[in-house]
Amino acid sequence: MRKLRWAAAALALGMLTAACGGGGDEVAEDGVIKIAAIYPMTGPASVWGTTTVAAMQQMAEDVNAEGGVTVDGEDYTIQIDVFDDEQNPEVAQSVAREALDDGYHFIMGPFGSGTATATQSLMAQSDAYWQLMVATVEGPTKNPNVFRSGARVSVYTQSTLDWLERHPEIKRIAMITDQMHTGLVSEEDALVAGIEALGREVVLQQSHQLGDTDFRAPITEMLSKDVDLYMTRAYPAETVLITQQVRELGGEMLIQWNGGLTNAEVDELIGDETVMENVTQAGPLGSLDSFIAAENPIALAFAEKVGDKAGSFTVNAHDGMVIFFQGLEKADELSVDGLIKALNELQVSDIEGKTLATYAPHEGGLVYQDREVNIEGAVTIWEKGTGWVLAD
């Protein structure tokens, strides 16, 4: 059985019934709201799944320590049960069915764009509430029961284009894209068109697969093109390997990541800071690093709690749980329908001062429009001795 369970501390176990859309008695028992979290706990993406889940669990522990969430006058504690999808689309489909068969009404995940795409039909067929915290792929949120609390994949593209516009010296660009990252794949045409609209040249478009370890052949091809910028549009493990192998083969050009690695992960996985010279990251700010550098009090307090369990998407998990809790507390009843109605009416003012990322309001001050939030991205650059800082 692929399901792994880590319950938040000091919670009573509760059984969920199979019915959806009714009052609190139908989706919680003994005052416990159970959440199914579909994340990779094993396999090549496990470090990012485990750190994201750790942040979710910390948020559950924090809210439980304060008495839980109050929905329609009743207090409930939160329990998170984790389903390991191994960042594998077929496994994701299997564990998603398992979560639905087990009667979960609230599902966080899947984590990746490929796994979210693979489970989209199950989302559409189910009566459960689904929340995407990390997956950026377009499509799932067309379903009325699927909300994304993290950034859309277009944020990666726009962050890059805004930065390139400020750097006209970058003229020749190559990119390598993970074909399992369906979100980045879907944005490739828009990215290329945007680069060309700035008067730059995309001289090479390459692809790879999640789990690949030897990139010397595509890197050698890239090096023959005399590029100014090499975009590694990949998950973190492959991002690290590509960067190391570029430097090993003599590549000194600017490299841009979409992988979202933290300072600690760079130290652990790369170690040698000379490898990180001329390395940038583009996209939403998912780690605590830049917030800690700015002495954000929420980030400082949360970092102290999660410690070395913080990761590339800790901000996504923190803010996603804040939004979920606020939706529950705004709901007229504890039900999937009640939560959906509350989230569709949730105001940015309801989460202001509680989240790390800045959520720009949609029309009417709403957090969500068509179940999507509005988060701006940025480009950071590795600064020796400091780590990631905002780039010019």
Q: Nearest CA to 213 among 239, 195, 231, 250?
A: 239
pLDDT classification of 237: cutoffs 50, 70, 90: confident
Hey, what are 277's tokens?
Answer: 């010279």
Cβ contacts of 96 within 8 Å, gap of 6 or more: 38, 83, 85, 107, 110, 119, 122
Tell me, yes or no, whether 12 and 130 share the same domain.
yes
Instruction: Indicate if 276 and 235 belong to the same structural domain.
Output: yes
Q: How far apart are CA 162 and CA 154, in angstroms?
A: 12
pLDDT at 3: 55
In a domain, residue 290? The reply is no
Return the pLDDT at 8.
41
Residue in the block written with tokens 């970058």: 170
Count the domains in the chain.
2
Whether 236 is in a domain gets the answer yes
Claim to verify: residue 17 and residue 135 sit in the same structural domain: yes
Reference 108, options 131, 92, 90, 89; nearest CA is 131
Question: Which amino acid, 287?
Answer: S
Is 68 a domain residue? yes
Q: Is 60 exceeded by the pLDDT of residue 15?
A: no
pLDDT at residue 5 above 50? no
pLDDT at 25: 53
For residue 372, being part of any structural domain is answered with: no
E strand or H helix at 221 = helix 216-223
| Statement to judge: residues 22 and 120 lie in one domain | yes
361 and 303 in a common domain? yes
Same domain (yes/no): 170, 278: yes
pLDDT tens for each residue of 103-153: 999 999 999 988 999 999 999 999 999 999 999 888 999 999 999 999 988
- Chain-wide mean pLDDT for the chain? 91
- Say yes or no to pLDDT of 331 above 60: yes
Same domain, 12 and 75: yes
Q: Which of 227, 250, 283 is the last residue of a domain?
A: 283
Task: Give residue 11's domain range.
Answer: 3-151+298-365
Whether 252 and 302 share a structural domain: no
Q: What is the pTM assigned to this prediction?
A: 0.81
Quick: pLDDT tens for 263-295. Answer: 988 998 898 999 999 999 999 999 998 888 888
Please tell me whether residues 145 and 161 are part of one structural domain.
Answer: no
- Among 253, 283, 313, residue at a domain's last position: 283
> Tens digits of per-residue pLDDT, 122-136?
999 999 999 999 998
Q: Are residues 312 and 254 in the same domain?
A: no
Tell me which of 283, 318, 345 is where a domain ends: 283
